Amino acid sequence: MSRILALDVGEKRIGIAVSDALNMSAQGIETLVRQDAGSTLDRIKALVKEYDVAKIVVGLPFNMNGTKGASAAAVEDFIETLKNRLSVEITTVDERLTTAQGERLLLEADVSRKKRKACIDKIAAQLILQTYLELNV
């Protein structure tokens, strides 16, 4: 069975998580610092190949009232770029509160501020993917 990759796309970083081989659980794998579009896309493409990914789930940052703002538009633009470079299915999920939820989990685990900043995006991607797996697989 092919795996599912999740992306928490931010302005400066992209959190990345992948499902296990049975698509039952999500593991955060890395936080990609965005540089130029080419190297960012190349890294995602390499991960798709490395993990035998059949689908990518991207968190779409809706506003709390359910509308799409500037952040959602930027993520949709990124998704269009991905679709032009990759031949895998790409879908979105509502990612409202995943970063806040990840921050809470890290605070509860007493992770230092510096370490939280380094891994919050990866944790958010893991939460996005776990939510998707629970609702769709």
Task: Identify the structural domains of the chain with CATH numbers, from first to last.
Answer: 3-136 (3.30.420.140)
Which H/E stretch holds residue 44? Answer: helix 37-50
pLDDT at 87 over 70: yes
How much is the pLDDT for 101?
65
How much is the pLDDT for 32?
94
pLDDT at 111 over 90: no
Mean pLDDT to the nearest integer, 84-111: 76
Residue 72, amino acid: A
Q: What is the pLDDT of residues 14-72, one digit of tens each?
A: 999 999 999 999 999 999 999 888 899 999 999 999 999 999 999 998 877 877 878 88
Whole-prediction pTM: 0.86
d(CA 71, CA 124): 16
Mean pLDDT to the nearest integer, 107-133: 78
